[in-house]
Amino acid sequence: MKRKIDFEHDDFINTPWYYKLFSFFLYWFVAVPVLLIIKTFFLRLKVKGKANFHRVKKQGAIIVCNHVHPLDSPIIAMAILPTRMKIVSLEDNFYTPISGTLIKGLGALPVPKDYKYLKAHLELLENLVKDGKKVLIFPEAHLIKRCQELRDFKTGAFWVAVSADVPIIPMCYTYPDNKRLTLNILPAVYSKKGEDYKQLTKRVYNIMNEFFNNQMSNTNIQNLAEESDEPCIEPLEEEVMKKKHA
């Protein structure tokens, strides 16, 4: 049985040198070649707006995106190469034989199921982006394949961005008339003076929603059923905010 993650003592960033070496080879010599083949020849995906990412590639940032494809995380990872990002993943995913080791080896961070560890998890993400890293969070929280609307956003990603004073990089998948998937990288959004995380959440949502609706205006495809719970840090929301300001 795989050892249960110890969120009080495990260090998910400063791993031993041999695990870093394993992660390096797994990512660059296995995952990247396979995913590039899938992206190029099977999904035939388009990526637009790379210049928007290049403008902020040297600083920490939170990447947010609509959650509409089982491979949307690795697609984004391939789109921003050679930059490498951190992805949050459900704790249970790390207990799966073989794939759990691969997930950890590829640099994913576990989201604790126990709420008492969620504040520390948010602070870990905050420190990562302050240190110049990119972190991907899906504010819709759940995967719905090719959903025909942008769903309401949870606020955790935006709390991290405001607390760390880093930009949000909005990315948006579009697929008008259910045609080829396109990943659109929009201009970075910075929090304004006096703007709190809820206001930033609303502003980024409005930007992405307007873009999504404009791109999808010709589609009449019905929503597909919700697929599964996906990486999400937002369940803590109000609980953590109250503790922070208590």
Q: Which of 65, 78, 190, 58 is nearest to 131 (CA)?
A: 58
What is the reported pLDDT for 105? Answer: 72
Q: Is the pLDDT of residue 65 over 90?
A: yes
Judged by average pLDDT, the poorest of 66-70, 109-113, 198-202 is 109-113
d(Cα 21, Cα 33) in Å, to the nearest integer?
A: 18
Residues 6+ apart with CB under 8 A from 51: none
What value does the mean pLDDT take over residues 162-187?
A: 94
> Hey, is 65 helix, strand or coil?
strand
Q: Which residue has the higher pLDDT, 126 or 90?
A: 126
Q: Which residue has the higher pLDDT, 137 or 91?
A: 137
| Burial grade of 15 (CB within 10 A; 0-12, 13-18, 19 or more) | middle
d(Cα 101, Cα 103) in Å, to the nearest integer?
A: 5
Q: Is the pLDDT of residue 115 over 70?
A: yes
d(Cα 7, Cα 239) in Å, to the nearest integer?
A: 18
CB 36, CB 78: distance < 8 Å:
yes
Judged by average pLDDT, the poorest of 17-31, 41-55, 229-243 is 229-243
**Residue entry with tokens 């034989």:** 97
Residues 79-110: tens digit of each pLDDT: 999 999 998 877 887 787 766 777 777 778 88
Q: Is the pLDDT of residue 244 over 80?
A: no
Which H/E stretch holds residue 169?
A: strand 168-174
What is the reported pLDDT for 86? Answer: 92
Q: Which residue has the higher pLDDT, 73 or 223?
A: 73
Q: Is the pLDDT of residue 152 over 70?
A: yes
Tokens matching residue 175: 């697929």
Q: 142 pLDDT band (50/70/90 cuts)?
A: confident
Cβ-count burial 124-160 (b if 16+ within 10 Å, e if not): bbbebbeeebbbbbbbbbebbebbbebbebbbbbbbb
Average pLDDT, the chain: 84
Residues 6+ apart with CB under 8 A from 136: 63, 64, 65, 73, 76, 77, 85, 86, 87, 88
CB 122, CB 159: distance < 8 Å:
yes
Phi-psi label, residue 100: left if phi above 0, alpha if psi -120 to 50, beta otherwise: alpha
